Amino acid sequence: MTERPCCVCGNKELDTSNPLIDDNPWYAVHLNCLNTPAFFAFNEKLKRADKDYARYSDLITVGLVIHCEGCGLPHDLSPKGVGFDPTWELYHCSDCATKSEEEINPYDHLEIVNALDNLSETFAMGASWADVGPKVEALALSVNDKLDIKRCSCGGAFSLTAHPRCHGCNSVLIESAFHFTLDLSGSDEAAQE
């Protein structure tokens, strides 16, 4: 897999302090070449040329700004379970925009976190929610007794399969339970950096 050259600098060599990241079908990139202007230009061009890649790129972006299709309110969209703290958190309510504080951390629930990571990757790589959702549903049912997931005050249920909703109009913001949103209009109680 690591035979592809870096999409930014064109070099192949591996260096432990600057590894070649080769985790998707579209390109390989050095850690140090990621997040450079040249990479952003490459990324934008590829997004325009390939809609599968555009979807993948949007789904793995942290802090992508999206607008609610129902009322137009801006939200910040990020994948769950990525970054330095690979904890799965912020369950959504099945019926409203409330998020629970509960989380699934890999120290207590490594198998569940790994299963969610795999399903999330399959989804980002092109599977639809219709394909992946039933598997998340089955996982949620199988782990129900291990997780003490509470009910929302609206009467709905927090769950691994619920989608993020808009605080303004309650529309589903994205057909995914692998993502969470922050309301950029200021009505979201969640802290923003």
Measured from the CB atom, the residue of 95 and 117 that comes closer to Zn ion is: 95
State the Cα–Cα distance between residues 63 and 51, nearest whole angstrom: 20
**Counting contacts by CB under 5 A, is residue 38 touching Zn ion?**
no
Q: Report the site for Zn ion in 69-88 (rule: CB under 5 A).
A: 70-71, 73
Contacts with Zn ion by CB under 5 A: the residue count is 20
Judged by CB under 5 A, the stretch of 23-31, 107-115, 116-124, 183-191 that binds Zn ion is 23-31
State the Cα–Cα distance between residues 193 and 183, nearest whole angstrom: 13
Measured from the CB atom, the residue of 63 and 72 that comes closer to Zn ion is: 72
Q: Is-contact 75 180, C-beta < 8 A?
A: no
**Counting contacts by CB under 5 A, is residue 162 touching Zn ion?**
no
Q: Return all residues near 134 (Cβ < 8 A) that are at least 6 apart.
A: none
**Amino acid at site 4:** R
Angle between helices 129-143 and 110-124 (to 10 degrees): 170
Which x/- pattern over 100-129 shows residues binding Zn ion (rule: CB under 5 A)? ------------------------------
Q: Which of 166, 174, 177, 182 binds Zn ion (CB under 5 A)?
A: 166
Question: 3-class DSSP state for residue 89?
Answer: strand
Q: Return all residues near 137 (Cβ < 8 A) that are at least 6 apart.
A: 161
Q: Which of 59, 77, 93, 182 binds Zn ion (CB under 5 A)?
A: 93
29, β-bridge pairs? 21
**Amino acid at site 46:** L
Question: 3-class DSSP state for residue 53?
Answer: helix
Q: Report the site for Zn ion in 141-160 (rule: CB under 5 A).
A: 152, 154, 156
**Counting contacts by CB under 5 A, is residue 173 touching Zn ion?**
no
Measured from the CB atom, the residue of 115 and 184 that comes closer to Zn ion is: 184
Q: Which residues bind Zn ion (CB under 5 A)?
A: 6, 8-9, 30, 33, 68, 70-71, 73, 93, 95-96, 98, 152, 154, 156, 166, 168-169, 171
